[in-house]
Chains A and B, each alone.
Chain A
Amino acid sequence: MNLEKVIFGFFIVLALTLNFGFFLGEIDNPDHHGIVELFLVVVVNLIATGLKLGDRSQMGAVLLATSLCADLQLIGAAVIWAIAAHVSDDGMTPQVMASIVSLSGGALIANVISVTMLVGETLMLRR
């Protein structure tokens, strides 16, 4: 067992599972999607990105790309949330909620790809 792989795998998978948890629920219902969850998803995704930095293999490059994709969409979602809650006069309408959740859905796909690649590489090496 390799401790480095444990840490790495943990964060990559946690990023996916938290993301899924936030995504779950009716898409435009603000009661189903919590701000704390979104915060955790963003933080864990950023940590996962940090762990992927500096890997010089081809696989590492693609893993980093998927992570950057997820970061971009999640930060986008967080910014929309902040604008809706504090800047806009309408507040958190179902339309705004729907666009936040759909952005997190996009990030979810990127995280799924990331985890699939991780599992694929592990299976291919068989050690």
Chain B
Amino acid sequence: MAKAPKSSRVNFIILRYMRRPILVLITVYATSMVGWILIPGIDENGNAVHQSFFHAFYFLTYTVTTTGFGELPYPFTEAQRMWGIVSLYIGVIAWFYALGSIVGLVQNADFKRSLAERQFAKRVTRISDPFCIVCGFGNTGALLVRGLSDAGMTVTVVDWKDERIKTVSLRDYRSDVSGLCADARVPEHLIEAGLLKPNCKAVVALTQNEEINLKISVTARLLNPEVWVATQSTSSIHEDTLATLGDKVHIIDPFQTYAKYLGAVIANPAIHSLNQWLAGTPDATLDKVLRPPKGNWVLCGFGRMGHWLREALEAQGITTSVVEPNPLPDDEDLPNLIVGRASQDNLVKAGVRNAAGIVAGTNNDSDNLSILLNARALNPDIFFVVRENRYRNLVVFEAAKVDLIMMPGLVSARRILFLLIAPMMKTFFETLRQRDTEQDGRFIDEVVDHLGSVVGGTQPRIWTLDTLDADIHDHDRTGFQVGGKRGNALQRLTDAGRKVTLEHLMGDPGDRSRRLACVPLVIESECGAQVLPDLSTAVLPGDRLLLCGDARAYNLIDATMHNEYTLAYLMTGKDLPRGWFMRWLFTKRIFTNASEIKTTEA
């Protein structure tokens, strides 16, 4: 609905701009042509001839464009030559004027923006896969888009900074990523980015201004109630408003997320290696274990991050002392508070010499680095968590060899990415922690060992397997038959009365006695979600699986899902006859495994 005015706007600008040059050209051509027709010429026999309209136009065409084929069809008279000079000069000037206008139009900022908008809108209209809209292409936005594109998701990006949008087209994304330079607060721009399309899956608001994020979230919610909205927020005022928008709006507070995470890691250190490994951090392996110590911790900086961290650490029975440059509001009372900069004196006062861990959590990277150096000098063995606010400082932080680096942008981006491409991951971790507490911290270690032995390596692939094909959903909607002759291998075999289990799907199509390097993390069926399901669990069409495996497993499981012969082999160990004739031959005549063959004849 917003497309028609957009395209006509471009045309309108062109017409507005070119109106006068076109009128000038027409007048000049018309005047010159009239002159050529009126001035008589002489043919080879000396008779007076007038040029026809066609010849006049032909002469002008090659003269005014400075091509110059000569005096056609007969050599000119002197009067004609004089008129030739006049029409050449005025024609060339008219053309220069027209060309200059075109160049001016192309350089016109408004025109360029309209053109870019139209191209963007066209690209968005052509998207047929599910896609996400990301508003804001800063640190967090860029990280999220990278993650989404690695997962094969189409993305449209809206950012008001032109340079940022230019970088979108320069990066080597694996999926289709298109950017629009526009103010995301304007609803029309969100619509151009595809907000109203039925395959728009999510809108993510990641601008640096929380007011704008709120506006985007509200707009998205109101214009498309089906769409899933995620935004980053670090202030409670906005969160209250956002919370009223309903359960499809997710608010990510990187500090709260990180504090909870740190608490969980202190409760069971294996969570950290598991999380890093699942998130695909380069070099992260499952056997690297980091152990944040219990004992007194020093928190430098007591803003939002400090508050959340203190809460999380105290929940783990850890005492904290706080160093904060600004005095706290009167109603807040802390036992171990030192007001002042995190200088060596203040750090000593906070008990850094005997502390087990320290968090440099101010919103200034150079402050955090100086805290790091001061604290190291006082206590070289201290466990260090440092907040890195700017992605470009990463090299410095890595060189400092701190134990944990907290990047708010990365925390938010990862959280949103998991919510978008692997929503079951939340269930997985929640159940994991719960069972771990029930089993005195042994459960997670077992899971890590299991994942390490089956999948292992670095950067595993995490993906959601939807056991119903997308096109089947369509048939469902339009009232066509589901299953039967259509659908994937799982649907057909289930319709034929066979029970397909996870073990069958996880089998190696090359040799069914081996298993693919893949672990089902969660299976979500009608009867609810099951975490780390047993391999004998039945898989029915419509179930959703969260799988973790290597690239080979990813490809082969997808192939198995779409090839009933492979799936039947994995189930029975026998290759079924292919083709009607072979099936007839082997069921009716020679072979005995008729029962197995019959069941696949859907």
Contact = CB atoms under 8 A, between A and B. Distances in A.
Nearest to A2: B575
A57 interface: yes
User: Which of A52, A54, A124 has its CB near the most chain B CB atoms (within 10 A)?
Assistant: A54
B601 to A, nearest CB: 10
Contacts of A3: 590-591
Contacts of A53: 579-581
A7 B565 CA distance: 18
B582 A51 contact: yes
Contacts of B582: 4, 7-8, 51
Interface string B557-570: 00000111110000
A58 B580 contact: no
Interface string B492-530: 000000000000000001110000000000000000000
Interface in A68-127: 124-127
A51 B585 CA distance: 11
Interface residues of B, number: 19
Contacts of B575: 2, 4-5
Nearest to A126: B510
The dominant DSSP class at the A interface is: helix
B511 A55 contact: no
A50 interface: yes
Given A4-B582, A8-B578, A56 B510 contact: no
Contacts of B295: none
A25 interface: no
Interface string A22-63: 000000000000000000000000000011111111101000
B513 to A, nearest CB: 10
Contacts of A56: 564-565
A8 B510 CA distance: 20
Contacts of A52: 578-579
A54 B562 contact: no
Contact of A54 (B510, B579, B586, B590): B579
Given A2-B575, A4-B575, A56-B564, A127 B510 contact: yes
Contacts of A8: 578-579, 582
Nearest to A50: B581
Interface residues of A, number: 20
Contacts of B586: 4
A4 B577 contact: yes
B517 to A, nearest CB: 17
Contact of B580 (A2, A54, A125, A126): A54
B583 interface: yes
B511 A57 contact: no
Interface in B536-563: 562-563
Q: Which of A2, A7, A57 lies at the interface centre, i.e. has the most chain B CB atoms within 10 A of its CB?
A: A57
Nearest to B573: A127
A71 to B, nearest CB: 16
A57 B577 CA distance: 12
Contacts of B581: 50-51, 53-54
Contact of B579 (A2, A51, A125, A127): A51
B578 A60 contact: yes
A51 to B, nearest CB: 5
Interface in B108-148: none
A110 B591 CA distance: 32
Most buried by B among A3, A4, A55, A58: A4
A118 to B, nearest CB: 11
Nearest to B576: A4
A11 B216 CA distance: 64
A123 to B, nearest CB: 10
B563 A54 contact: no
A57 B579 contact: no
Given A3-B590, A125-B510, A57 B583 contact: no
A58 B590 CA distance: 27
Contacts of A50: 579, 581
B563 A57 contact: yes
Contact of B565 (A51, A57, A126): A57
Contacts of A55: 578-579
Nearest to A124: B510
Contacts of B579: 8, 50-55, 60
Contacts of A60: 578-579
30 contacts: A2-B575, A3-B590, A4-B578, A4-B586, A5-B575, A8-B578, A8-B579, A8-B582, A50-B579, A50-B581, A51-B579, A51-B582, A52-B578, A53-B580, A53-B581, A54-B579, A54-B581, A54-B583, A55-B579, A56-B565, A57-B564, A57-B565, A57-B566, A60-B578, A60-B579, A124-B510, A125-B509, A125-B510, A127-B510, A127-B511
Interface of B: 509-511, 562-566, 575, 577-583, 586, 590-591
Interface of A: 2-5, 7-8, 50-58, 60, 124-127
Given A2-B575, A7-B582, 13 more contacts: A3-B590, A3-B591, A4-B575, A8-B582, A50-B581, A52-B578, A52-B579, A56-B564, A57-B563, A57-B566, A60-B578, A125-B509, A126-B511
